[in-house]
Each structure stands twice: as C-alpha cells, then as structure tokens.
Chains A and B, each alone.
Chain A
Amino acid sequence: METKIEIKHLYKIFGDDPQTMLQKVRDGVSKDELNDQYNHVLGLSDINLKMPAKGIQVVMGLSGSGKSTLIRHINRLIEPTAGEVWIDGENVLSMDEKTLRDFRRNRASMVFQKFALLPHRTVMENTIYGLAIQGMAEKKAEKHASHWIERVGLAGYEDNYPGQLSGGMQQRVGLARALATDADILLMDEAFSALDPLIRTDMQNILLDLQQELHKTIVFITHDLEEALRIGDQIAILRDGEVIQQGTPQQIVLKPKDDYIADFTKDINRGRVIQLKTIMKAPNDKAGPELSGEMLVEDAAQLVTESPSSQARVTDDHGNVIGVVGINDLIRAMARPDIESRLEEL
C-alpha cells in the first residue's frame, strides 16, 4: 500500500528545556522519571508510523496517551521537539511559514472534538471559512459549500447559527467545512467523541459513505476501540506517548501484542471485525452461498444459518472460490478469546 504520511522518530517533550530532556529520554529515562525528577512531560516518544494513502488510519489511545498531540504534529499546530513528518516527499516540520500556511489551506483540513465553529457565523459562512481563507470569491465559495452542506445532510440549515443546532449537526458543519477545502488529507481529532452513541454511529456511517467515493487520507483519533475497529483500515495504539501496536483491525483483535491490548479487545464483538477469509478452510464440494472473503463474520452468520448445507463458499475479488466456512467456524470466531478456559473451569 502506498504511504501518504510518514512519521519518523517524532518526539515531543513539554517543559522548559525540552532539548536537554530529549537526550535523557534517548538515553532511556522513562516518562515517570522525567515527570518526577525533571518536571518535564513526555508527550510523544520515538513515534514511527506509516499512514496509507486513501485509507483511514486510526490512532487509538486513552486520555493522556498523546494521540491529540500526535495529530497536531501532522499539520504542525504543535512544534515537535525532534523528528520528521513526511507528506508527499516534503517534511512538514521544516516548512517555512508561508509554505506551511499553504499546506494547511489546501492540503490538510481538520475536524475538532468540540467542533470549534465560529459562533457568530451561519452554517454557510462557517462552511466557506476555509475557502475564504484560500481567497476564493464568495459566490463561488458558496456554490461549492452548498454541495458539501447537502452531502452531510444539512440542506435547509444554511442560515442557522451553530448555537441553534444540536451537537451532531454542529459536527456535520465541522465536517462540511473540512471537506469543502478539497484537501486530500483529513485530520479528525476525536471528531465523534462528544456525540451521543446513536448520533456517533450515524456520523461514522456518513464518514464511511463519503470515504467510499472521496478516497481521502484520513487520520482519525479516538479513545473508543469499537469506533477504531469499525472505521479503521489501519490502527495504531498509543500508550504513554509510544506506539505499542499497529496493524489492521483483525490483527489487533486476533493478535494483541500485550496484555494491555488484549484486555481492551476481549469485550469486543469479534464478529464485526473478523473477515471470512481469515477463518476459512480448504474448499470442499458442498453447496452454499458464495460470499466475499472480506465479508464480516457477523454478516455471514445469518446467511449461512439459512443455507441447507450450513456452510458458505468464500470467494476472492474475481469471484473464484478460495475456501469454505461452516456455521461452527463462524460461532467459534465470534466467541470471546477466554471462553475456552472458562469452559474448563465449569
């Protein structure tokens, strides 16, 4: 997969003398030591990440893990202590002021956790904000913006002020504002975290729908593993300013790197993460519906239950049968990882 954003050896230390502390961190001083003895906070420590082009890269971590700090380095809202962020062969961290401004105007837009809309401007005026900064004429900008307002489902609300809208609707404005600039990188900082669960699912659907046709490079920050697994093509898990695992949703769930991640993933509905091709067996002669290898176990379960042979044939992108899954395989895949040890206890 082509890499769009590459982060190399990125460090961020908060405090009065980060450069001196950087050497200590490289020499192996831990985050706690740095905090207790030197009164500096280690925000990010030696981050190395390759984010796929036209894909959704999720960065997941609990509060204080450094995920919001990390995303702010991509458009340099925060200056790093050391490191590089390469985008399209350019290091964002060595751009001069003007280049950086152009980069923010045209190539990377951002959606914020608390929406950060301009309260004194209407929905339309907020949506054209990025375009106005680019210098686009108002008429043209409004025409362009109204397309995006419609796409996020806010047609008819153009003249409302943000204060008159619900949280979910405000974030749709935030999304429309970010999409309107036509930047091919979309940075989303806990964009849906402040929303009710139902509305959050709604917004995830909108994002996934849009992504199907826009193919932007999306960096999505969240503290919610369900959300990460649902929308991420790639997931990086952050703890105490370090990346502790990165991989596809399936890799995270099936092969958690340590107990910390295993603990996270054990309550996850695995049927919504694991794909058929991951659990299929060698093809046999029995009949059954033909299902795509990328179909999720949960979606397949219903279809397989209704099939007389209690199995499905798994196909690749070209429709060739590459394996089979039976109803038992599906059930086993959905079970919690610790279920077998529990059965023994009984």
Chain B
Amino acid sequence: MEWLTEFPELGRRDLRDFRKGIDQGFKEFTRSYGENIESFFEPLLHFLIWLEKFLLATPWPLFIAFVALVAWLASRSIKIVVGSAISLFLIGFLGMWEDTMSTVSIIIVCTLLCIGLGLPIGILMSRSDRAQGIVTPILDVMQTIPSFVYLIPVVMLLGIGKVPGLLSVIIYAIPPMIRLTNLGIRLVDKEVLEAADAFGASPWQKLTQVQIPLALPNIFAGVNQTIMMSLAMVVIASMIGVTGLGQPVLKAISNQYLAMGLLNGLAIVALAIIFDRISQSYGKRLQSYRRGLGE
C-alpha cells in the first residue's frame, strides 16, 4: 500500500530538468528579445525621468499650491484642501520631499497607464462574455500571485530599474480598474439602453453618451483603487530599483532604523490619504445628479 502514502511525484532529476528547461527557454527569449522589449519601453522611461525632474524642479510652494487647487476643484471641501497642504508641508519639513516627488511621479505615470489600458480592456469585457471569460482568470492570477514571483521574469527581461518597477506596479494595480469598468458598464440600466436603441443611437454613441457616463462612478472607484494599490506596491517595487519613498523603507528594514522606516511609511500613508480623499470626493460629486427632491 505504499502508493497511497507516497505521492507519485516526478523524479528529482526529471523535475530539475523540467525547471531548467523553463529557465533556459526564458533566458533564450530574454537574450533574443530583451533588447527589443527594452527599447520598446524607452519612451516610457524618458517620460518617467522627465516627469520626476519636472516635479523636482517645481518650487515646493507651487507644488503644494497646485495640489491644494486640485483638491479644491475636485472636492470643494476646505478640510481636504488644508489637510493636503499641511501633510505635504510636513513631508518636506521632515526631509522626504525628493523621495516623495519620485513616488508621486511614478504613481502618476502608473495611474495614467492603468486608465489608458484598463478602460478599453474593461469596455471590451463588458461587451463580450467571451472576453470576460478570458480576462477574469488572468486578473485573478494578477491579484493573487505573490508580487515577488512576477518580479523574477520582469527583472530577467528588463534588468533592474524604473521601467521594470513600473511594470510590476501596473500588474498589481490595474485589475480593479478593469473590473470596475466592466462592472460599471454592465450595471447600466437596461431600460435606458433600450431607449438609446429606440432613438437610433449607434454603438459608439451608446458607449460614449450613455454607458460610460453612467458607469463613471464605478470607473472612478476603480481609479481610486488603482492609486491606492500602486502606492502599496511602491515599497516592493523599490527592491528592483524604483526610487522614492520605498527605498528608505527598504534601507530601514535591513538596518533596523525604526524612525526612518516609520517616517517614510507615514509619508506613503499621507500621500495615499490625499489621493484617496481627492479622487473619492470627485467621484461623489460626479453623482450629484442622483440627489432627488426628497433628499
């Protein structure tokens, strides 16, 4: 009865050959296409570097004023404006301004890319059950696989640096954007869609005038989630060379610098809260039409 207690596993040698085969194959792929892929991402790298330099070159009072203005336009709440300005000032006062600017630049690029990629994928998913069937399990994998696992091939392919870091952040942060776009469009009232059909709307008119506007609150929740998740990923991404608030945290872990880790960690939290409050209150204001007479 040995076969019941002993698992029928692949022989040790076979297993090693199997893994070696995969590694070898990927290495060869890297060798032949790595450079092409790298040059494909070159414009992205340039943009990232340019944005970071631009943010660093911007006088700090101007940056704080700009964030306060955006906060005001999005939320119309003086509390959020003052809170954002004070936390940004404290971050700079405690010597973390430069790292914060790098982090902000990577979050901005990452969010833009997530919206640019996630929105069309989400729309495609909402229009075709087959697309939804294919994309959903991929998103499940992206969200549950430990991030270190996909750092390995990314680093093998692109080495250490900003672009591979950015890619790993996007892999981690894009799923909610796609999911909530898909969900938002699927939840649009069938009767309103029927009315659009009855008035002879083309598929494009239906998408741009009815489906996306009505899905916007959900899409915005997706943007908000994407920003939050990319901030969470910043520390892990710093392991493969992303500059910003993550690197001091990493340094603090290996050297047991409690205060340094705490301060940089709190700076990330502060950024997260600023982004979150601004984008959430804007999302809420988008729905102001839902307020009826009775409320």
- A110 adjacent to B292 (CB under 8 Å): no
- Binary CB contact string for chain A from 158 to 190 against chain B (1 if under 8 A, 0 otherwise): 000101111000000000010001000001000
- Binary CB contact string for chain B from 158 to 202 against chain A (1 if under 8 A, 0 otherwise): 000000000000000000000000000000010110110111111
Identify A110's interface contact among B192, B195, B214, B291, CB under 8 A: B195
* Identity of the chain A residue whose Cβ is nearest the Cβ of B291 in the assembled complex: A163
* Residues of chain B with a CB closer than 8 A to A57's CB: none
- B192 adjacent to A118 (CB under 8 Å): yes
Question: Does A119 lie at the interface of the complex (its beta carbon under 8 Å from any beta carbon of B)?
Answer: yes
Identify A130's interface contact among B199, B210, B292, CB under 8 A: B199
Cα distance A332–B194 when bound, in Å?
Answer: 48
Stretch at the interface among A24-32, A97-105, A211-219, A228-236: A97-105
- A104 adjacent to B198 (CB under 8 Å): yes
* Residues of chain B with a CB closer than 8 A to A106's CB: 200
Question: Does A136 lie at the interface of the complex (its beta carbon under 8 Å from any beta carbon of B)?
Answer: no
Identify A116's interface contact among B195, B213, B214, B216, CB under 8 A: B195
Cα distance A132–B208 when bound, in Å?
Answer: 13
Question: Does B289 lie at the interface of the complex (its beta carbon under 8 Å from any beta carbon of A)?
Answer: yes
- Binary CB contact string for chain B from 68 to 81 against chain A (1 if under 8 A, 0 otherwise): 00000000000000
Cα distance A132–B200 when bound, in Å?
Answer: 11
User: Chain B's interface: helix, strand, loop or mixed, by majority?
Assistant: helix
Identify A161's interface contact among B201, B214, B289, CB under 8 A: B289
For the complex formed, measure the closest distance between the CB of A144 and the CB atoms of chain B, giving whole angstroms.
15
- A77 adjacent to B200 (CB under 8 Å): no
- A104 adjacent to B292 (CB under 8 Å): no
- A101 adjacent to B202 (CB under 8 Å): yes
Question: Does B256 lie at the interface of the complex (its beta carbon under 8 Å from any beta carbon of A)?
Answer: no
- B292 adjacent to A163 (CB under 8 Å): yes
* Residues of chain A with a CB closer than 8 A to B202's CB: 101
Question: Does A45 lie at the interface of the complex (its beta carbon under 8 Å from any beta carbon of B)?
Answer: no
- A104 adjacent to B210 (CB under 8 Å): no
Cα distance A203–B209 when bound, in Å?
Answer: 29
Cα distance A164–B194 when bound, in Å?
Answer: 22
User: Which of A109, A120, A161: most chain B Cβ within 10 A?
Assistant: A120
Identify B289's interface contact among A102, A120, A134, CB under 8 A: A120
- A109 adjacent to B197 (CB under 8 Å): no
* Residues of chain B with a CB closer than 8 A to A116's CB: 189, 191-192, 194-195
Question: Does A222 lie at the interface of the complex (its beta carbon under 8 Å from any beta carbon of B)?
Answer: no
- Binary CB contact string for chain A from 112 to 128 against chain B (1 if under 8 A, 0 otherwise): 10101111100000000
- A105 adjacent to B200 (CB under 8 Å): yes
* Residues of chain B with a CB closer than 8 A to A110's CB: 195, 198-199
- A102 adjacent to B198 (CB under 8 Å): no
Q: In chain A, residues 140-172, which have Cβ atoms closer than 8 Å to a Cβ of chain B? A: 161, 163-166
For the complex formed, measure the closest distance between the CB of A332 and the CB atoms of chain B, giving whole angstroms.
46
- B199 adjacent to A133 (CB under 8 Å): yes
Question: Does B205 lie at the interface of the complex (its beta carbon under 8 Å from any beta carbon of A)?
Answer: yes
Question: Does A129 lie at the interface of the complex (its beta carbon under 8 Å from any beta carbon of B)?
Answer: yes
Cα distance A246–B218 when bound, in Å?
Answer: 48
Cα distance A6–B194 when bound, in Å?
Answer: 23
- Binary CB contact string for chain A from 188 to 223 against chain B (1 if under 8 A, 0 otherwise): 000000000000000000000000000000000000
- B191 adjacent to A133 (CB under 8 Å): no
* Residues of chain A with a CB closer than 8 A to B12's CB: none
Known A118-B210, A120-B213, A164-B293; judge A129-B191 contact (CB<8 A): no
Cα distance A164–B201 when bound, in Å?
Answer: 26
For the complex formed, measure the closest distance between the CB of B57 and the CB atoms of chain A, giving whole angstroms.
40
For the complex formed, measure the closest distance between the CB of A102 and the CB atoms of chain B, giving whole angstroms.
7
Pairs across A and B, CB under 8 Å, 7 listed: A77-B198, A104-B200, A105-B200, A110-B198, A118-B210, A134-B200, A187-B198
Where the two chains meet, the residues of B that have a C-beta atom closer than 8 Å to any C-beta of A are 189, 191-192, 194-195, 197-202, 205, 209-210, 213-214, 216, 289-293
Which 9 pairs across A and B sit closest by C-beta, in order of nearness?
Answer: A105-B200, A104-B200, A116-B195, A110-B198, A161-B289, A163-B292, A116-B191, A130-B199, A101-B200
